[in-house]
Amino acid sequence: MVRGFGVEEFDGEGRYLEARFGKLSVVSLYLPSGSAGPERQASKYRFLEAFMPWLQALKRKRRDFVLCGDWNIAHKPIDLRNWKSNQKNSGFLPEERAWLDRLFGEERWVDAFREVDERPDQYTWWSNRGEAWAKNVGWRIDYQVASPGLAGAARRAEIYKAQRFSDHAPLIMDYDL
């Protein structure tokens, strides 16, 4: 078990836990949310800045990785219902989305869910206000991100909504490993 990625500010919050199974590592990841205000958004940006070099180092290891959890960023307009009105809100800011663009582009990490499900209206988080859950007014901010060597390995994805456990729904995926 690996706890943390070497940055005290975030390791103390338990944001990175890695379990190793042979040549596969499964990571539980929880990126900071910036929605509580400017201080938390600044913390989120510090996390993103520190985490990209960690991800680059992981790519050089002789193992595959699947990073699962709440990334607190909706990547593209398809990933949230009201994208036009949320462009200035944490979780859909241009800088956050550009960071994911780099991750999934230049760095070649894989949004495993989008490999197998390109449909709109597939969300993993809903506000507790109004009837967001009932009306499916949500955000897809929970991911399974696979290392480049696992590109094409995802076979099936499901957002489990039969029961409601919290404001998030579990993202279940199958891989051909």
Structure letter (DSSP) for residue 155:
E
- The question of whether 70 is a catalytic residue gets the answer yes
Report the DSSP beta bridge partners of residue 44. Answer: none
Which of 70, 79, 111, 142 is labelled catalytic?
70
Residue labelled with tokens 């800088």: 95
Task: Check: CB of residue 10 under 8 Å from CB of residue 32.
Answer: yes
Which tokens hold the place of 158?
């499901």
With both helix axes pointing from N to C terminus, report the angle between 94-104 and 38-59 in degrees, rounded to the nearest 10. Answer: 10
Question: Distances in Å between the alpha carbon of 30 and those of 10, 33, 51, 106, 153?
Answer: 10, 9, 12, 23, 23
Which tokens hold the place of 71?
């990334």
Point out the residues that are catalytic.
Answer: 70
